[in-house]
Every structure is written in C-alpha cells, then in structure tokens.
A and B are shown apart, each in its own frame.
Chain A
Amino acid sequence: GAVVSQHPSRVICKSGTSVKIECRSLDFQATTMFWYRQFPKQSLMLMATSNEGSKATYEQGVEKDKFLINHASLTLSTLTVTSAHPEDSSFYICSARDPDGRTWDTQYFGPGTRLTVL
C-alpha cells in the first residue's frame, strides 16, 4: 500500500513554455500532498504544501505565480511550471500523507519528474 505515482517521469521543454506534472496517490486518499525540488547531489527542498480543496501554502522564496499547484481531488495534485526557463531545470518530487492509521506522520514519495528546460 501507500503508493504515489508521478507523471511524466521525464520532460524536456523549450524556454517560455509551461509544463504540468501530476502526482497521484494510488491506494489512499491524501488530503495533503507536498512538492519538493531536488538539485543534483543535494537534499530535497520543500516548495509547497498542497491541501485538497484549498490554496497551496508556499515556502519562503518560492514564486507562487511560477509554480502553480492545484489539488482538485483527494488523489491528485498537479504542479505547473509556468514560463519555464533553464534555471527551472531540476528533479521535482511529490509526496502524500496518509492521514489514517499508524502512519499519520509519514510521507510517501513519488518517483520524481526530471524537468529539462532548453
């Protein structure tokens, strides 16, 4: 159980275009999902917390107009990188929290999406 998927796994786009990344919890309902960014050989940096049915909460320094998050259902959150530029190239990872049972404090991670902006 507790499987999180992401789509696509890799995406290459031209500078100035927008890219949407999907994060799904496959076997549980996730009222809260999280979006992280990971630079090569570095740790994960939390970008935002996505709450179903409400606006996302962004961490300090993250541009909310650039990284649009929509958590429209209990199993799907999307991250849209708008007007992407080469510096947005990174590994984007989502996670979901299962609010039930003994694992209430545990996040389950998706496999990540490698974004390359040319």
Chain B
Amino acid sequence: GNSVTQMEGPVTLSEEAFLTINCTYTATGYPSLFWYVQYPGEGLQLLLKATKADDKGSNKGFEATYRKETTSFHLEKGSVQVSDSAVYFCALSTDYKLSFGAGTTVTVRA
C-alpha cells in the first residue's frame, strides 16, 4: 500500500534560518507528490507539487524535488520567516486518493 514518512517535529528555527523537512514515500505506480501547509486555525493549503520524477515544485520560496531513486520529496526553504510557522504535510496521490504523512510542526522565532 501507499505510505508517507516525514520527519517528526516539532522544529524550532530562528528567522532567516534554513529549513528542511524530510519526506520519503512508498507507493504502487507513479504517484504525484505534494506538500500541504496548515496555518494555525486554518485549513490545509496546497504549497507545491510535482507529478513526475525529477520535477521540482516551488512556491513562496519553498522547493521540493521528486526523487524517484530515493523515493523522496524533501521540502526546503533557504530563509524562513515568522509567517512560515505552520504544520507541513507531505502527501502522495494515486487514483486521486491522498495519503498524508504525520505532519511536521514548524515554529519560527523572530
């Protein structure tokens, strides 16, 4: 079956620090990969996605590259801001169903 494993948190960073959240997956077929973000008190928002191997998704300074050889989709941002404090979910999609990782809580301090 499909599964997503992502780095456990919580992660606490200072503003302008580098952020990386590891995500690996197991899937049958060729999944699409996603990062969703959940800000405090809000619903999930799509942050970025990649649909095939070597694709790079990017948005709001965040990037992730679909690595088929390592079955990974690590999220990175070079310089975080306080407004990036949120819970980040890695997810994969096959047959239109999403499987989520456990979520990583990120707190950025000024």
The residues of A with any CB-CB pair to B shorter than 8 Å are 4, 6, 32, 34, 41-44, 46, 49, 93, 95, 97, 105-112
Measured CA separation A34–B96 after assembly (Å): 10
Interface residues of B in 1-50 (CB under 8 A from A): 32, 34, 36, 42-46, 49
Q: A43-B100, A43-B101 are in contact. Are A109 and B93 (CB under 8 A)?
A: no
B43 touches A112 (CB 8 A): yes
The residues of B with any CB-CB pair to A shorter than 8 Å are 32, 34, 36, 42-46, 49, 51, 89, 93, 96-103, 105
Query: A6 to chain B: which residues have CB within 8 Å?
Result: 43
Which of chain A's residues has its CB closest to B31's CB? A105
Query: A42 to chain B: which residues have CB within 8 Å?
Result: 102-103
Measured CA separation A109–B43 after assembly (Å): 6
A34 touches B98 (CB 8 A): yes
- Tell which of A46, A106, A109 touches B97, judged by Cβ atoms closer than 8 Å: A46
Which of chain B's residues has its CB closest to A46's CB? B97
